[in-house]
Amino acid sequence: MSDQIACPLCAQNVAFTLIPHLRTEHRIEPKVFRVRFPEQPMCTAGFSEFLRDHQVRRHNGILHHRLDVAGCPMTARYGVDHPLIPEPDPTFVWTDRCRDVAEAIEHNERVFLYGPSGTGKSSLVRQIAAMVKRPVRRVSLNGETSVADFIGHWTVNGNKETVFVKGILPQAMQEGFILQMDEVDAMQPEVGFILQQILEPHGHLLLTDTGEDISPHADFRLVATANTLGFGSDSGLYASGTHVLNFSWLDRWDVVVHIDYLPIDDEAQLLLARHPSLKKDLLKAMVKAASDLRKAHANEELTTVLTTRRLLAMCARLERGSDFRRALAVCVLNKVPPEDRKVIGETFDHHVGPMFNA
């Protein structure tokens, strides 16, 4: 099947569709062309089939098309550029859990992600946004993020006029961003109560300072991430700074997804993709050591847990030529309590040591 189509105005063959050619070379809009040449196809048969299969349509001057993201069909935008659209990461590992999050974002469900540190909760949201070309505004709702930061505040501008400056939430609602709120289990209670009105179906935001009622843009999405589910930290790892969350607040989230560490093979593949100069056997041994240490933590034999983030930090050092034991010390051992260092060191010796002692 040909991927070329001839222009009846100049007989030039162009690829796939006449529309860009008509606009740039002949200064003719497709509607005008269609009146003059009602029987002339605007694109090749193959391109027409592609448009149908991917449900390509133009909305507000932007092309939208269907795209598979982790097994979920999503609406993606074509050719858009925005400083808040994340860059795609080709090394990102898509798992079955990713589908639930992608589906929630596609269908405007409020989604709450929780799980251990360093499992890629924030990265997942950003990679979905990168695939479908959506801007993401990310904010850490730690105890330092105030209501004024989140909602807005009064200030005096350069003309010495008192004006209200909108905060992170109303800006995201009006501009149609994905608002990614990290560390929601550490947020101030006042911020949580403000969010309750947004978590309602089609929830609006009333700015009490100005009386303005803000309705959400059709593209606005709300995502929260946390290390705990809001009932406290059973492991003790996240007890400092986190709070027990109000149940009625938690109940308003449409979708809750637990994000855990990757399976051993997938985690090793991630390390290899980020640091291809390292030996695959070494990376797999490191991941096996980390897996054993995570099980030890789950069995309360270890007070800390080894995250994927720590493994990546070690790989960066190793790729620069660092000695393994030195990389383990500065990236892992120096960050844990003294009682954990012996167990971690012995576990890595068991899995990784034979590679250096052979």
Is pTM beyond 0.75? Reply is yes
Question: What integer pLDDT is reported at residue 236 of this predicted model?
Answer: 47
C-beta separation of 352 from 285 below 8 A:
yes
The structure tokens listed for 213 are 């009622």
What does the alpha-carbon distance between residue 288 and residue 268 come to, in Å, rounded to a whole number? 9
Question: What integer pLDDT is reported at residue 25 of this predicted model?
Answer: 92
The structure tokens listed for 68 are 């598979």
C-beta separation of 276 from 318 below 8 A:
no
Q: Mean pLDDT, 10 residues at a time, over the chain (358 residues)?
A: 83 89 91 90 84 79 87 89 94 94 96 90 95 95 82 89 92 95 86 86 87 93 88 48 71 93 94 95 96 90 90 96 93 92 94 67
Q: What is the CA radius of gyration of the chain?
A: 26
Q: How many helices (H) and strands (E) does the chain have?
A: 14, 14
